[in-house]
A and B are shown apart, each in its own frame.
Chain A
């Protein structure tokens, strides 16, 4: 989105950099209008607020959590399985740890997973999608076949298979999900690029002597940003769900680390009497995923793009 200052300005006449500044002016106005439409939707603003609150609380967990030391291998059996109270608003778990504190630290793990998976998956996926869509032919066939293969299994099952072959740890779970995630973005970007490739602005750039890199990254990429942004937002919720699912099964976050899915799984052993132990971590997952979905849904309307999860 910040393509205001272009390299093209250095080596070309004044007039072209003027054109560039007009284009970037227009682009900025477009984003300003999008922002206006965004804030007029209560759902998407609420989604953004949920995410912000959770992210801040997670970042500040060591400060804001009532019992930061309960995040890890702490035990106080005298306080085990106490219901919600002023001391422990969301109760305590089977070894006497504060559930609220563990949820806050659990959010850190969930968000870290989102960061790692999307931080790897999105750039890789976008670049491959650009290349496949722009060059077409054999390059496209090979790349798209690869994505089809990675999508030949439900993501959870694929991640499970990969994680099982390595060791069931948080990092391997993230690695497994990241190894799949790029494919969705490759598909998305490839389909957009394939249709943009024949647009006049692309042909104009090519006639003006722009190289493939310039055309792909400077001309076409900016036009794929809004669908990618929508997809990334919806993805975040999906990654959290898959991560929680893997942890619930037992191949993601390992105890005593406070994975949200791990906590639900442990809590089910203490149903129905100590219901809070399973219910609150589950609700915590739901709230954050809901936030991302509300935001993503709003952004989809704002940019008026068709993006499926």
Chain B
């Protein structure tokens, strides 16, 4: 199979998934017992008002027409109004998304920076102390609820040791002009070093709490694929030629051991989006997930749909990017797809 054919096939798969998701969400929104018009107006509104708004909102049209309208809205970025904030949902999402992306990106950075080297060290000292320690950490990290790690971090490093702030993104004494919404970038761009450091202080605990679950997985998968690769003849040959150990390990072995890790990293990035929902609640992080949770609690349906579809698009896009990379790094994967279909 040619590379572009593989890409087209993957892309179609992603688009079909998103279409399916939109149908599910639309379906759920129309099956639900509460009338959206009634919810928008509140309990005090009269029957007549509800009926008028229903007609205005297109709730009396046939279902397929409603779906077409809803899809038109989604595609043009018109997600309707939030019942809670009274603003366009798209505006709200644009405001809250950068905070979440910043949190997830830093968490991902921790995952990679700690996870991969520890996995390599564990593989080199197979059955040694570091190996056992990473196994324990990996075990621990998939068994403990992410939100509980967050709460414990708050308790220990926030309340007791007072090293880090407990909630929020930036102390109130600083104010930063919003350019990108990424505070790390905005503070640097404005040359506010103190504020920049303060953003890091706020980021550290939630990002670390968020990265824990994935870190264990990355360590283990790096370890096991490193072990597979370092037993290969060509690695022995490289050592025989007298190449320095670090060069063999980090350049030649790790490169070939990287494919499974890359797959896991993609899945992780996606699962971070899910776990961010919990971590943002714990740390009152003003991101998309907290916005989504608030929307859920308030029955703010347009906002829920907006958040869900945004995350769905992000999720599918990440998976697509990973497929693109994997197809490049390891051509065998393209062949597997061909065989499977």
Contacts and interface: CB of A to CB of B under 8 A. Distances in A.
A306 to B, nearest CB: 11
Given A164-B304, A268-B151, A245 B13 contact: no
Interface residues of B, number: 51
B315 A279 contact: no
A309 B139 CA distance: 12
Given A271-B155, A275-B155, A290-B139, A282 B145 contact: yes
Interface stretch (B185-193, B195-203, B233-241, B271-279): B271-279
B243 interface: no
A146 interface: yes
| Interface hub of B20, B148, B152, B312 (most chain A Cβ within 10 A) | B148
B277 A264 contact: no
A285 interface: yes
Interface string A74-111: 00000000000000000000000000000000000000
Contacts of B299: 164
Interface in A49-93: none
A204 B29 CA distance: 50
Contact of A271 (B146, B159, B281, B316): B159
A249 B299 CA distance: 14
A153 B308 CA distance: 8
Nearest to B150: A268
Contacts of B296: 160-161, 163-164, 168, 249, 251
A204 B154 CA distance: 62
B160 interface: yes
Given A152-B18, A275-B155, A293-B142, A162 B281 contact: no
Interface string B130-169: 0000000001101111111001101100011000000000
B21 A264 contact: no
A41 B54 CA distance: 63
Interface of A: 145-146, 148-158, 160-166, 168, 194, 237, 241, 244-245, 248-251, 261, 264, 267-268, 271-272, 275, 278-279, 282, 285-286, 289-290, 293-294, 297, 309
30 contacts: A145-B17, A149-B16, A149-B20, A153-B21, A153-B308, A154-B271, A154-B275, A154-B311, A155-B274, A156-B275, A157-B274, A157-B292, A165-B28, A165-B31, A165-B301, A166-B28, A166-B33, A237-B142, A241-B145, A244-B147, A248-B278, A249-B296, A271-B151, A275-B155, A278-B155, A282-B144, A285-B144, A285-B145, A289-B144, A293-B142
Interface of B: 13, 16-18, 20-21, 24-25, 28-29, 31-33, 139-140, 142-148, 151-152, 154-155, 159-160, 270-271, 273-275, 277-278, 281-282, 292-293, 295-297, 299, 301, 304, 308, 311-312, 315-316, 340
